[in-house]
Amino acid sequence: MEDISQLIKDYHWMMNSIKLYSSMPSAAGEGRAAQFNRGAAPRKTQEVQHDPIHQETIRRDRRYKKIAQYEEKVHFIQERMTAIDDDREMEVLHWIIEGKSYRWIAAHMGLSHSHVARIKDSAVEKMRTYIPKVTKGTNFHPPKSL
């Protein structure tokens, strides 16, 4: 599993990718194209390698899987943010996941950038030790490392 600290840093761009992908009109039918091609009769290897439609379907399917991984990682962080009960920690985390730098957050909150890093580390430790409430019958799996 990736480090929670890195997931927090990556949260902003992963959310942007998820939003962008889900707002694209072609994203709605992604799974259907791949499903259709899986049911088709197998073609010769050489023919498939030069088929631009098939290659595009493969590319989009890979992208869909990558976005699904981003969604899983974002959900992992969102779920653990409930463990944060300190206002400073929540404020620091909020601005980090919005993509702001430690220096920007420090200036905003009137703290040093190293103090912001310590506050973030404290929040990450709370998130690391947090055990989510899982209802009976739910299969909970942390995000897979790439």
In tens, the pLDDT along 45-80 reads 556 667 889 899 999 999 999 999 999 999 999 999
Neighbours of 104 (CB within 10 A): 15
Predicted pLDDT at 24: 80
Report how far residue 30's alpha carbon sits from residue 21's, in angstroms, rounded to the nearest whole number: 11
C-alpha closest to that of 14 among 29, 26, 25, 2: 2
Whole-angstrom distance, CA of residue 3 vs CA of residue 127: 11
pTM reported for the whole predicted model: 0.70
Is 50 exceeded by the pLDDT of residue 92?
yes
pLDDT in tens, 33-49: 444 455 555 555 556 66
DSSP letter for each residue of 45-64: HHHHHT-HHHHHHHHHHHHH
Residue 110 has what DSSP assignment? T
